[in-house]
Amino acid sequence: MKNRLKLLRVERGWTQEQLGQALGVSRQAVNALETEKHDPSLDLAYRVAVLFARPVEDIFENPHA
């Protein structure tokens, strides 16, 4: 799933490790999302949206829409 996660993370000056800690996931999970190897669960997508104070649709692109 295409996303803006890396851009948002870099804008804040966070490492993947720091973002993972903020979201309660591993650095490897953040990397998998950023490289679009895995799609986020609904719960994780919501936590990302809350953390960055943006709608889910601003961060993740639905390929089926």
Predicted confidence at residue 27, as pLDDT, reads 98
Predicted confidence at residue 64, as pLDDT, reads 75
Identify the CA nearest to 1 among candidates 26, 34, 25: 34
pTM for the complete prediction? 0.92
Q: What domains does the chain contain, in order, with CATH numbers? A: 5-57 (1.10.260.40)
Spell out the per-residue pLDDT of the chain, length 65, in tens: 999 999 999 999 999 999 999 999 999 999 999 999 999 999 999 999 999 999 999 999 987 76
∠ CA 29-22-36, nearest 5°, is: 30
Predicted confidence at residue 51, as pLDDT, reads 98
